[in-house]
A and B are shown apart, each in its own frame.
Chain A
């Protein structure tokens, strides 16, 4: 991505939306609660969608199995955190973090490793063939979900939030959940890392080029296969991280959780413009805000708010907010 003329219009959407609803919400504290919660929710959504910006957005792999890595990360976290009861039960935040960090790392490692196998056996034969990708990754998703049931059982497993991360901070009359603030920090870190890698190195370019003409990239001397494996693994690991964050947010995990978020994250990636990290971030923030605003103002419409948002954005920019590729 070159930093040529900055496209500010999509950036302005977020504050614009927030200001637009202010008069309708009425109370400032309610507005603040909704806005902060929505933005933070957007960050969580961004984290779970971030892996997909790479895999679907950049590599053009329609991975319907992406959700299974999210579920996997969450389930690994139940095991890791379950083994560290003392640390999570403590009310001191640093002890909680000491418990959650390894859970994240292990979840990312496991998800990444499984991603490696997934790429090798499921995705590799179908690069460039969307329809087959859908089916084969769907198959992978089902297999993964069933294996989770074999390992952890079919039932819901509680994933209690460490004691120090519970509760809210009060700003005047507005309550802001502590955990959401943590999510903002993690989300920003993921965003910065992704944006930096893609902008500062040739990786992003190579992936996009590889999607268009694999043979040519190889003829230029790049081992595109290895690169794709690497990117897929990173995407899966990010999904694992997203799973930990999402599981902790819901405080319980079920094997179907991956499938449940699938459509949501697809919407975010599409709004963002397939492969744009900033686009995905803005898309996620908009989705988070929109859910809260419509939930408060027009609860009946809330169910369809994501879809309405996506259609509206696509009518404005048929390629998404920040189109990266010409797909």
Chain B
């Protein structure tokens, strides 16, 4: 066999189409970069099979099965959405083949739904929340959280809360994912915070949809009540609304201007060359996944036997646009740096530019291990 077949199952279409496409672009660039442009490891050609899960878990599940069996994929990457990922996990176990999860974030993927064929280069919700806690957590700060009312939002708030050491949480507000009018929710948060002494902060944990930033900005809370807004990073178009919050702090997974290392330089250069735009959140993720794959395959010298690969990957460190990542032995989650940022409103950019305050190293974050082996 002179080929290594990699199935990439992701949202080519569906609500997360834009995210999925970033991952795919990053993955291809990453494979290219990691193989020095040959797209081969140990003389075996890397073949990427793309499959579109349309954001539907049932479809993702059957596509993955078909990829492992009909398409003879040796290894699979993806998917974009957590729901799809969770449905896919048992398929990897059934076929005894590796699924490298990127960028689905749910904790359960490397938590209680995990099996030994699952690895993840993407960050999980806990990593997000903990790093954000690090950015917010100061003595005397009073915090209210504002999150979407579903598993992602509630888990995020819980992880955030667990990670806070100094600041105090006084209110948790959960709003429907489809909220369009934030007046009531913000009013409740403000009512909870406005009379508190010291620094007051709203921590926003929001993914996709319409985030509440414009509504928060319009209320002018800083001036009226001295309430600040904190949040994590996001894709570039979504960060347009950050322009209203110069000085806003938080922690992000990736922003192309932040990491300083040769891999990131290469990614940014390649991306500008190919698309005339900087790489985004999910491009970096796809790139990291590719780096992990090639590093592992090099270690097995191109062998795709699942047990060999697992052995090579457990505890493996690899270079990514975010610096070095390591698959934790226990749950196969890649531990990685996060970035504490502060927003600057730079007219040259259409989005609020996150400037690095501090890199939060993996060992600073006690990311809990939640799986059972």
Contact = CB atoms under 8 A, between A and B. Distances in A.
Interface of A: 27, 30, 33-34, 37-38, 41, 149, 153-158, 160-161, 166-168, 170, 175, 177-179, 249-252, 256, 260, 288, 291-296, 299, 302-303
Cβ-closest 10 pairs across A and B:
A295-B184, A158-B240, A155-B18, A37-B183, A296-B184, A154-B17, A292-B184, A177-B218, A156-B237, A251-B214
B184 A34 contact: yes
Interface string B341-361: 000000000110000000000
Given A166-B218, A168-B219, A175 B176 contact: no
B241 A252 contact: yes
Contact of B187 (A30, A294, A303): A30
Contacts, number: 96
Nearest to A257: B210
Contacts of B149: 299
Contacts of A155: 17-18, 237
A170 B219 CA distance: 9
A306 to B, nearest CB: 11
Nearest to B237: A156
A167 B238 CA distance: 19
Nearest to A29: B187
Contact of B21 (A154, A249, A250): A154
Given A154-B17, A252-B210, A260-B178, A34 B218 contact: no
Contacts of A33: 183, 187
Contacts of A158: 237, 240-241, 350-351
Given A250-B214, A252-B240, A260-B178, 7 more contacts: A156-B235, A161-B214, A170-B224, A252-B210, A256-B15, A292-B184, A296-B188
Contacts of A161: 214
B244 interface: yes
Nearest to B13: A154
Interface string B226-255: 000000000101101101100000000000
Contacts of A296: 184, 187-188
B343 to A, nearest CB: 15
A167 B214 CA distance: 9
Contacts of B176: 302-303
B188 A250 contact: no
B220 A156 contact: no
B187 A299 contact: no
Nearest to B17: A154
Nearest to A153: B18
B243 to A, nearest CB: 8
B187 A34 contact: yes
B185 A295 contact: yes
B210 A250 contact: yes
B141 interface: no
25 contacts: A27-B191, A30-B187, A33-B187, A34-B187, A37-B183, A41-B183, A154-B13, A155-B237, A156-B18, A156-B237, A156-B238, A158-B240, A158-B351, A166-B218, A168-B220, A175-B220, A179-B218, A250-B180, A251-B240, A256-B15, A292-B183, A295-B175, A295-B184, A296-B188, A299-B175
